[in-house]
A = this chain, B = another copy of it.
Amino acid sequence: MKTISSRDNPLYKELKHLAGSSQARRKAGRTLLDGVHLCVAYLEKMGLPPLCIVGETALLNEEVSAIIQQCSDSHTQCIVLPDALFHALSQVEHGVDILFVIDTPEIQQPSRLTQSAVLLDRVQDPGNFGSIVRSAAAAGIKQVYCSAGTTFAWSPKVLRAGMGAHFLLEIFEGVDLSDLLGRADIPVIATSSHADKQLYEVDLRQPVAWLFGHEGQGVADDLLARASYRVSIPHLGDIESLNVAASSAVCFFEQVRQQTSAK
């Protein structure tokens, strides 16, 4: 285990750059997993990371020791930083100071849409994106397709909100959703206030693709027009719409309800 104590250390400077810039993370194909929960989820689902960074004080933490133990039997490089240097890399307040540097997966987009999936059209908020993939993974959905203009799936904020869901999903970014809709072998369902049907009227026992849009503007008109159904979630109160992460959870778990009660 190596200690870095200078801010001018080249590796530290590279980490600082990765931590601070979405552009840098995309370019390097690397990102940071912040905190014990995400690191443990990564170890369980994906294996060992190339790099493990720990704050000095966190060395005393039992969970951290266990993680370092796992990493030290491997090719993972472990680095200890003084707490102040660690905190400059992390967006987590009051957390335990451990993070992994990981390579973001490069996966080939399937040529056709054949299994239950989530399609995100310019969803902006990292917290929403993370909550959506967390709910999707819990509902047994395995694929997420993101349009250009959707927030970066592998930013530390999205990863934190996703709580490990990323490691259960195939996430495709920069997808031409309009093109994808033309290659869908399953119904594509968009939520919209201008809806053909209510959510609860749709048969969800078969695979479907769920299409959700931008927080303010919703799904783009051309995509909305090409969806198989536009469904609304019935409201009993005088509120225009739900938060997109709330709305997606309602849809995914209505699908779970129908799938599990059909058994």
Contact = CB atoms under 8 A, between A and B. Distances in A.
Contacts of A161: 243
Interface residues of A, number: 42
A258 to B, nearest CB: 10
A161 B246 CA distance: 12
B168 A243 contact: no
Report how many copies the assembly holds: 2
Interface string A120-146: 000000010011001111111110000
Interface string A226-247: 0000000111111111110111
Main secondary structure of the interface of A (DSSP, over half): helix
A119 to B, nearest CB: 18
A81 B256 CA distance: 51
7 contacts: A131-B243, A134-B239, A134-B243, A163-B241, A168-B237, A200-B261, A236-B256
Interface of A: 127, 130-131, 134-142, 161, 163-165, 168, 200, 233-243, 245-250, 253-254, 256-257, 259-261
